């Protein structure tokens, strides 16, 4: 069953680079997508990035980003990064790696389709935070080379 983004996710999605908008619209509507998705972040201001960077360092909580203000792909306009998580039973599921891992192959397959149909320019690559060597970030997707 194809899913579609709600109003809040759509607004956040539209702060992102057009390639990310196309990718996530197509992926979410793909018949193989196992879960609905919600957009947690697209573009983040320097102030928002600073507040997230402070968590676990100078403010209470666990560290949620290693990118200082201005160093995140979320800080570009339009954003070259997006954070999306499965939306299951009416709530976001950012900590549940099973559904996150189940969605990733559909997102990668959609990117490959976009490459094949010429939507993605040569040299532009997609990177998932779940594949990082350091602490994984399953919600994070970014494009490089734009």
Give the global pTM.
0.93
Q: Which helix (H) or strand (E) holds 113?
A: helix 97-116
Q: Which helix (H) or strand (E) holds 8?
A: helix 7-13
The C-alpha atoms of residue 46 and residue 2 are separated, in whole angstroms, by 35
The C-alpha atoms of residue 120 and residue 135 are separated, in whole angstroms, by 28
pLDDT of the residue at 1: 61
The answer to whether the beta carbons of residues 75 and 42 sit under 8 Å apart is no
Complete domains list, the chain, with CATH: 7-42+78-144 (3.30.1380.10), 44-74 (no CATH)
Average pLDDT value over all residues in the chain: 94
Residue segments in the chain with a per-residue pLDDT below the cut of 50: none
Which alpha helices (DSSP H) does 30-96 contain, by range?
A: 46-54
pLDDT of the residue at 64: 86
């Amino acid at each position: 069953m194809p899913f579609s983004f709600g109003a809040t996710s759509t607004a956040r999605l539209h702060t992102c680079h057009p390639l990310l908008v196309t990718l996530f619209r197509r992926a979410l509507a793909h018949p193989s997508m196992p879960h609905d998705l919600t957009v947690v972040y697209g573009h983040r201001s320097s102030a928002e990035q600073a507040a997230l960077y402070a968590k676990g360092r100078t403010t209470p909580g666990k560290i949620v980003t290693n990118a200082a203000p201005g160093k995140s792909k979320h800080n570009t306009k339009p954003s070259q990064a997006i954070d999306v998580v499965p939306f299951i039973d009416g709530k976001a599921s950012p900590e549940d790696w099973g559904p996150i891992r189940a969605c990733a192959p559909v997102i990668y397959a959609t990117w490959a389709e976009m490459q094949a149909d010429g939507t993605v320019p040569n040299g532009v690559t997609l990177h998932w935070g779940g594949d990082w060597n350091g602490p994984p970030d399953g919600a994070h997707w970014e494009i490089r080379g734009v």
